[in-house]
Amino acid sequence: MANAQKPLDASAKVIALPTKAKSGKRAEDKWSPQVLKFGYTALPNLLLRAQAKLGITPTQFNVLAQLVEHWWDADKYPFPAKDTIARRIGKSPRQVQRYITELETAGYVKRIERFSGRKSQINNGYSFAGLIKKLKSIEPEFTKAADLKRQKAKKLETAAAS
């Protein structure tokens, strides 16, 4: 047994490969896994940038964000309870109902009545088709403004380099 070889340590053969530095663009890199364990809500930047143009008040926007938070599948309407939204934003269920009515009157949200069994109404579903249509219609205006801003910045860069 004097000639018995010792087993090789597996870690002795591991070669560390260079790793790419994190870009910091991932949601977890920004917010932390602890914060994101409850999930996150995707809102288009165009909606954020066009809020004033669309005439959406901050509280209406908050209600809209709460509705969108429940929209998990593109082909299924979200159906959060008004009580849940009210509790989250510090308003009464009646106030939430008014804000939803305002969004509906503006054409951004459409209530879809839902029933369970024999005419027993349950939480409404909500369609955002009107909001999406409106955002699509104003997108060219925002694209043009962004293009003009880029062109202006490029001209300033060129002038500074000369």
Kindly state whether residue 28 falls inside one of the protein's structural domains: no
Kindly state whether residue 26 falls inside one of the protein's structural domains: no
More confident residue, 66 or 2: 66
pTM of the prediction?
Answer: 0.76
Kindly state whether residue 126 falls inside one of the protein's structural domains: yes
Kindly state whether residue 69 falls inside one of the protein's structural domains: yes
Percentage of the chain beyond pLDDT 70 is: 88
The whole-number average pLDDT for the span 65-76 is 93
Kindly state whether residue 32 falls inside one of the protein's structural domains: no
Task: Give per-residue pLDDT as tens, 30-64.
Answer: 999 999 999 999 999 999 999 999 999 999 999 99
| CATH code, 153 | 1.10.10.10
Kindly state whether residue 84 falls inside one of the protein's structural domains: yes
* pLDDT band, residue 14 (cuts 50/70/90): confident
Collect all residues with Cβ–Cβ distance below 8 Å to 99 and sequence separation of at least 6. 59, 60, 63, 91
Count: domains in the chain = 1
Kindly state whether residue 105 falls inside one of the protein's structural domains: yes
Percentage of the chain beyond pLDDT 90 is: 64
* pLDDT band, residue 119 (cuts 50/70/90): confident
